[in-house]
Chains A and B, each alone.
Chain A
Amino acid sequence: MKILVCISKTPDTTAKIAFTDNNTKFSEAGVQFIVNPYDEWYALVRALELKEATGATVHLVTVGGADTEPIIRKALALGGDEAFRINANSQDSYYIAAQIAALAAQQGYDLIFTGKETIDFNGSGIGGMVAELLQLPFVSIAAKFELNGNTATIRREIEGGEEVNQVTLPVVVSCQKGMAEARIPNMRGIMAARTKPLTVSEPVAADTLTSIVSFELPPAKAGVKLIPADNPAELVRLLHEEAKVI
Chain B
Amino acid sequence: MSVLIFADQVEGVVKKSALEAIQYGSKVAQLLHTTASAIVLGAADDAALATLGNYGVTKVLHVAAPSLNEVDAAAYTHVIAEAAAQESADVLVFPFNFDGRAIAPRVAARLKAGLVTGAISLPDLAGGFVVKKNVFSGKAFASVNITSATKVVAVMPNTFALEPSGLTAEVVNFNTSIPPAKVKVLQREVISGEVPLSEATLVVSGGRGLKGPENWGLVEDLAKALGATTACSRPVADAGWRPHHEHVGQTGLAIRPNLYIAIGISGAIQHLAGVNGSKVIVVINKDPEAPFFKAADYGIVGDAFEVVPKITEAVKALQ
Q: Does A186 contact B (CB under 8 A)?
A: no
Judge whether A168 and B73 touch: CB under 8 Å: no
Please give, as numbers and ranges, the residues of chain A lying within 8 Å of B282 by CB-CB distance: 235, 239
Residue among A131, A174, A209, A218 with most chain B CB within 10 A: A209
- Report the bound CA distance from A233 to B312 in whole Å: 9
Q: Assuming the A-B contacts A119-B250, A215-B140, A245-B279, are A167 and B184 also in contact, with contact meaning beta carbons closer than 8 angstroms in the complex?
A: yes
Q: Is A8 an interface residue (CB 8 A)?
A: no
User: Interface residues of B, CB < 8 Å — how many?
Assistant: 102
Q: Give the distance to chain A from B319, nearest Cβ to Cβ, in Å.
A: 9
Chain B residues positioned under 8 Å from A132 (CB to CB): 74, 77, 105-107, 109-110
- The interface stretch among B20-28, B38-46, B57-65, B192-200 is B192-200
Given A159-B10, A214-B143, A216-B141 in contact, is the A124-B105 Cβ separation under 8 Å? Answer: yes
Which residues of the other chain, B, contact A237 by a CB distance below 8 angstroms? Answer: 314
Q: How far is the CA of A178 from the CA of B270 in the complex (A)?
A: 18
**B139 with A137: CB separation less than 8 A:** no
Q: How distant is A12 from chain B, measured CB to nearest CB, in Å?
A: 10
Cα separation A216 to B308 with both chains bound (whole Å): 36
By secondary structure, the B interface counts as mixed
Provide 24 A-B residue pairs closer than 8 Å at the C-beta atoms, listed in order of the A residue: A19-B140, A37-B250, A93-B115, A122-B117, A125-B117, A128-B102, A135-B74, A136-B74, A140-B101, A160-B191, A161-B189, A162-B245, A165-B186, A166-B183, A171-B183, A174-B101, A211-B147, A215-B142, A226-B301, A229-B303, A232-B310, A232-B314, A236-B314, A240-B318
In order of increasing CB-CB distance, the 7 nearest A-B pairs are A160-B196, A229-B302, A128-B105, A209-B114, A161-B190, A132-B109, A140-B102
For the complex with contacts A166-B186, A210-B144, A213-B142, 15 further pairs of A-B residues with Cβ separation under 8 Å are: A17-B140, A38-B251, A116-B101, A119-B137, A124-B96, A129-B105, A137-B183, A158-B188, A163-B185, A163-B188, A221-B295, A227-B300, A229-B300, A239-B298, A245-B202
Chain A interface (Cβ < 8 Å from any Cβ of B): 11, 13-14, 17, 19, 37-38, 41, 92-94, 97, 116, 119-129, 131-133, 135-141, 143, 153, 156-168, 171, 174, 177-178, 207-218, 221-222, 224-229, 232-233, 235-240, 243, 245-246
